[in-house]
A and B are shown apart, each in its own frame.
Chain A
């Protein structure tokens, strides 16, 4: 059983790395990029019986800092 967690900086929190990537893409001629946000993907290999609520608790306590980050969870088979 697996879960995939996406962690992103919240809207309204400046993402300087995303901005740097946007500038680089612009400089390379990719002139249709209007914004870049960079985040993290965390894959969890879970034992049978683990629930989405367990993963939510992991996100709240460690995987994301909810002061600055939002997260989403995909449970996979």
Chain B
């Protein structure tokens, strides 16, 4: 069971994400953004949080054009699993792997705090360790986490049960309180909150552990 964590100039959650994967039983390879290929046999790709390329132009816009992200896109098009957290979510929307975009927070302030996150569906490899309706405590840390998609796209996400998480109390103006969404095949998750920062007693919370354990359960070779 192998996870790859992408490292961009400006990533700062890459090692935390690697530790969360390792604790759940994954072998983790750190992959530099200039690499054109993922390591052989990768089961899931983690696109971590941070400020890739200094957030120049738009958050995630430059990273979305990097060689490794083309490989990540090909991986997802083959049906591979991937998750993007925070800046990783921004990168996945910039590539078009996930719909919508992340705008500046409605209150214009950078927000760093633990929020109540409602599990909107347990029907995915990422969320099956929770029950739909559970409210878990997960930190957010972003300036541009205001999820936007047009009305048709939001309706489609709801119709297809692709909203993974919503905010219990919307901190940033996201449409329909959306905090995380799934791809159409439910194998790609993008979310602004940081489950890898709620994965150890020392973090002050462990509500993120179930996400990584559930993934490990799904991806364990039978």
Contacts and interface: CB of A to CB of B under 8 A. Distances in A.
Nearest to A61: B65
B93 A67 contact: yes
Contacts of B106: 14, 16
Contacts of B105: 16
Contact of A13 (B93, B99, B103, B107): B103
B62 to A, nearest CB: 8
B107 A67 contact: no
A45 B146 CA distance: 33
Contacts, number: 36
Contacts of A13: 103, 148
Interface in A33-69: 61-63, 65, 67-68
Interface residues on chain A, size class: 10 to 19
Interface string B89-119: 0000110000111011111100000000000
B149 A67 contact: yes
Given A17-B108, A20-B108, A65 B101 contact: yes
Interface of A: 9, 13-14, 16-17, 20, 61-63, 65, 67-68
27 contacts: A9-B103, A13-B103, A13-B148, A14-B103, A14-B106, A16-B105, A16-B107, A16-B108, A16-B146, A16-B173, A17-B108, A20-B108, A62-B57, A62-B61, A62-B65, A63-B57, A65-B61, A65-B101, A67-B93, A67-B99, A67-B100, A67-B101, A67-B148, A67-B150, A68-B101, A68-B103, A68-B148
